[in-house]
């Protein structure tokens, strides 16, 4: 089982021009903890929508790499988007699910993945080019390489420990998050 902060931190080492969309709650805090960056699009709501924001961005900017980093609850709520992404086959899109099998924001109630629902199998069934589970920190370098150069669509289910970690709260104003992202992307 992975330490979520350690894992996300390693994924985002020397991130370069990687575009990151992160799902509400702990995934947003984890990405912020790895270092605030204008090319992070932090979500504080819109549960279930993170992967689709990644798809819209990946289609708009096929010249850039897009990483969606989110939790199992958000992925489950938007599970149909795996099928939608499977139809479009974006080569530049990767989704990393930080799967602790629990709804951390609401009191650690077990999620569907805790009962054995298999997101990797769903990714494969939805025609993802790569779909794999990771649970050891020495696999982080492989995942990081996939984010930067793997052929998408990619789904990585990262088994992380179900534990509360200190919150790291980034920008919350949606207009500011959007504007900062767009300006940074335009200036690349």
Residues of the shown chain interacting with other proteins in the complex, contacts defined by CB under 8 A: 19, 21, 41, 44-61, 64, 78, 80-81, 83-84, 87-88, 174-175, 177-178, 181-182, 185-186
Q: Which residue has the tokens 């504080």?
A: 44
Please answer whether residues 7 and 167 qualify as being in contact, where contact means their C-beta atoms are separated by less than 8 angstroms.
no
Residue closer to other proteins (CB basis): 56 or 145: 56
Q: How many angstroms separate the CA atoms of 112 and 184, rounded?
A: 37
- Residue 97 Cβ, how far from other proteins at the closest point, in Å? 16
Q: For 46, left (φ over 0), alpha (ψ -120 to 50), or beta?
A: left
123, two tokens = 């990714």
- Residue 152 Cβ, how far from other proteins at the closest point, in Å? 14
- Residue 55 Cβ, how far from other proteins at the closest point, in Å? 6
Q: How many angstroms separate the CA atoms of 97 and 99, rounded?
A: 6
Give the pairing of strands 109-110 and 130-134: unpaired
Residue closer to other proteins (CB basis): 30 or 74: 74
- Residue 142 Cβ, how far from other proteins at the closest point, in Å? 26
Q: How many angstroms separate the CA atoms of 185 and 188, rounded?
A: 5
89, two tokens = 């086959």
Residue closer to other proteins (CB basis): 77 or 134: 77
- Residue 73 Cβ, how far from other proteins at the closest point, in Å? 14
Residue closer to other proteins (CB basis): 60 or 121: 60
Please answer whether residues 153 and 94 qualify as being in contact, where contact means their C-beta atoms are separated by less than 8 angstroms.
yes
Residue closer to other proteins (CB basis): 11 or 20: 20
């Amino acid at each position: 089982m992975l330490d979520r902060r350690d894992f996300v931190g390693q994924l985002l080492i020397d991130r370069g021009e990687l575009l990151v969309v992160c799902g509400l709650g702990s995934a947003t805090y984890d990405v912020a903890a790895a270092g605030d960056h204008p090319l992070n699009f932090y979500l504080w709501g819109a549960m279930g929508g993170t992967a689709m924001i990644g798809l819209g961005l990946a289609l708009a900017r096929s010249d850039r790499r897009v990483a969606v980093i989110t939790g199992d609850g958000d992925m489950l709520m938007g599970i149909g988007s795996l099928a939608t992404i499977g139809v479009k086959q974006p080569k530049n899109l990767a989704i990393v699910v930080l799967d602790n099998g629990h709804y951390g924001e609401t009191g650690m109630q077990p999620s569907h993945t805790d009962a054995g629902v298999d997101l990797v199998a769903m990714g494969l069934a939805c025609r993802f080019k790569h779909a794999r589970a990771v649970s050891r920190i020495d696999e982080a370098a492989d995942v990081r390489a996939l984010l930067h150069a793997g052929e998408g669509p990619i789904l990585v289910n990262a088994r992380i420990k179900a534990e509360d970690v200190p919150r790291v709260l980034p920008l919350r104003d949606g207009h500011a998050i959007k504007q900062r992202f767009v300006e940074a992307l335009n200036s690349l």
